[in-house]
Amino acid sequence: MKRQVWSIIFAISACITVLTACLGGGISEAKSFDDAVNILSSQVLPKITVQDELVSDAAAARYSIEGITDPLPDLTDFPVFAAKPTGNSEIYVEIFGSTEKSNAERTDSRWLVDVAEAFNQKNVAIGGKPVRVGVRRIDSGAGMRLLAAGQAKPAAYSPSNNLWLALLQDSGVTFEPVADRLLPNSIGFVLRGEVYQQLAAAGPVTFDRILNAIAAGKITIGYPNPYRSSTALNLMYALFWRAAGRDQAGGLLTEQDIQSQQVASVFEQFQKQVLIATNTSPELQDIFLRDKSTLQAFPLEYQNYQTIQKMPGFEQTKFVPLGLPHTNPLVSFAWTTPDQKAALKAFAEFARSPEMQKLATETGFVETDYTKAGKFPPVNPSGKILKAIQAQWKRGKDVGKTVYLMTVVDTSGSMDGEPLKAVQEGLKAATTQINSGNQVGLVTFSDQVVRRLALAPFDRLQHQKFLAAIENLRADGGTAMYDGLMVALNELVAKKKTDPNGRFYVIVLSDGDSNAGFKLPDVQSIIAQSGIRVYPIAYGEVDKNQLEAIAALRESSVQTGDPKTVRDLLKGLFETNL
């Protein structure tokens, strides 16, 4: 009798095991890279139906890689505060203001908005016409790009620093200074307390000593995109200036300096310690808090640092200044009318009044000993030099390592129409940001997974194949996101076994919760042990909790996009990672 009972129990247990496996459960936990590879190949992939729709050489040859335009930010994504034009008889002045001083949604970042609101309440009039000032919150890099492209004509522009003005001038846009400085600010490295103390044991902690520690492999860092971030552009300028020996020899940085072997060697040492490059500084703050044992330093503006230092996880950090001051200049343009210029002059005088400067101090914009000392690189590099620095960063950031990136795109039914079209256009434009020799592949998912482009060096033919694969995407079916992710990981781990020193990334874009195939608990340990960084993009109404759980497995963060912003978002991800 007991034997029969145990036989029945064994049979039921076996049935449950089989049923669980069929439903996607029963996946072993990976505890190492080899575990992840074995479990992926033996337990996961056999349960995923994969269709191959690879582009042939002949089909790819019909696609041209010339004439792909650079996606520009959508101006309507950047809100206007304080005042908007009414259409009445008034002098309306719109100022493009950098985000650290123009964000009305944050009490510590809305100084320029507060100044504009207070100025508007004074009812200043010029020639009998009332003056109204509006502030458009826009990051300095996006503002510069729109102005340089002739896609926006505000009355004035106030970036974080003068570097953007040099780039704007090099793009052929003329401007006139209204105020050389509205606010004092600076940037520096935020260091973990224990890292700072280790350096301080040997003397004062300076930018030079931090660079030496980075070169010696003692500090890991991250920083934002220098094509977009004021802080990162300033950091790159300071790094190249010092690497060229200009801190000792003096003088302006030259193109010959930038292209020298000496600078290349210093930059390579620096880049070897870069854990991650992001689109924005807030992403780095999140990663710094989450990954305490990996990311040890990142650059930030001092005004912002004073706010985050009060947050849990940042209390023990230290700030070490570097680079040029962020003076927040204000300029007008050739298209700014005489009445608007007069209004801007009055506004600048009001902004620099003792009352408004006191408000600035209260929100963290303060003169520091570093900026008072004046011992920083020359404040007037040309736009040509800055463009050369950006280009050298783009060419050299991978330090001779091949980057392998799989793009995983949701083509479920909810992506039909404008959502998918925007992604296709964004991917097409982003292909211009891929360094030659890096490898890119494409997988899509709906009810099932489709392998559309195998990983291969990004030459002209691979570029054409990518464009062809993008154009052929169609939306239909459910959302088997984790199935698509697993197929992409399988391609990458195969490459990792042959090139362990490469850099491996996945971009996974989804507009809905996964409702088919594997779930996150089934494959979470595989993602974690694969050593591959996943960049999730929440495209529309998505459960961000799951995507944030994916990002937390490696040094990453969830990107948020929609049909209006996804073009620029994809360009930024490809720009920083490829």
CATH number, domain containing residue 415: 3.40.50.410
Summarize pLDDT for 269-311 with one digit per residue, the tens: 999 999 888 888 888 888 888 777 788 999 999 999 998 888 8
Q: At what angle do helices 230-243 and 140-148 cross, to 10 degrees?
A: 90
Residues 336 and 316 in one domain: no
Q: Which two tokens stand for residue 221?
A: 């860092």
How large is the average pLDDT for residues 52-65?
90
378 lies in some domain: no
Q: Which two tokens stand for residue 223?
A: 């920083």
67 CB-near residues (< 8 Å, 6+ apart): none
pLDDT, residue 512, reads 67
> Does pLDDT of 459 surpass 60?
yes
pLDDT, residue 230, reads 95
118 lies in some domain: yes
pLDDT, residue 8, reads 42
Of the three residues 375, 396, 417, the one that is the final residue of a domain is 396
Partners of 125 in the beta sheet? 130
553 lies in some domain: yes
Residues 229 and 108 in one domain: no
Residues 193 and 240 in one domain: yes
Structural domain boundaries, residue 392: 187-322+384-396
pLDDT, residue 10, reads 40
- Count CB-CB contacts under 10 A for residue 174: 10
Does residue 447 contact residue 481 with C-beta atoms inside 8 Å?
Answer: no
pLDDT, residue 25, reads 57
48 lies in some domain: yes
| Cα 315 to Cα 309: distance, rounded to the nearest angstrom | 5
SS (H, E, C) 311-339: CCCCCCCEEEEECCCCCCCEEEECCCCHH
Residues 388 and 469 in one domain: no
| Cα 112 to Cα 103: distance, rounded to the nearest angstrom | 8
Partners of 505 in the beta sheet? 405, 533
pTM (2 decimals)?
Answer: 0.89
Summarize pLDDT for 105-139 with one digit per residue, the tens: 988 899 999 999 999 999 999 999 999 999 999 99
Summarize pLDDT for 511-560 with one digit per residue, the tens: 767 778 888 889 999 998 998 989 888 887 777 788 888 888 877 888 88
Residues 480 and 503 in one domain: yes
SS3 label, residue 136: strand
12 lies in some domain: no
Residues 524 and 406 in one domain: yes
Mean pLDDT, the chain, rounded, equals 89
5 lies in some domain: no
> Does pLDDT of 5 surpass 80?
no
pLDDT, residue 576, reads 85
| Cα 144 to Cα 173: distance, rounded to the nearest angstrom | 10
Residues 509 and 458 in one domain: yes
> Does pLDDT of 323 surpass 60?
yes
Residues 37 and 79 in one domain: no
Domain tally, the chain: 3
Q: Which two tokens stand for residue 24?
A: 């996607």
Summarize pLDDT for 154-201 with one digit per residue, the tens: 999 999 999 999 999 999 999 999 999 999 999 999 999 999 999 999
Summarize pLDDT for 27-40 with one digit per residue, the tens: 899 899 899 889 99
CATH number of the CATH domain containing 156? 3.40.190.10
Residues 465 and 342 in one domain: no
> Does pLDDT of 6 surpass 60?
no
Residues 171 and 259 in one domain: no
7 lies in some domain: no
> Does pLDDT of 1 surpass 70?
no
Ranked by mean pLDDT, the top range of 59-63, 234-238, 243-247, 414-418 is: 234-238
Partners of 277 in the beta sheet? 223
Place of tokens 């505060």: 81
Residues 114 and 37 in one domain: no
Residues 31 and 166 in one domain: no
Q: Which two tokens stand for residue 127?
A: 């020639």
Which residue from 176, 221, 508 is spatially nearest to 348, judged by alpha carbons? 176
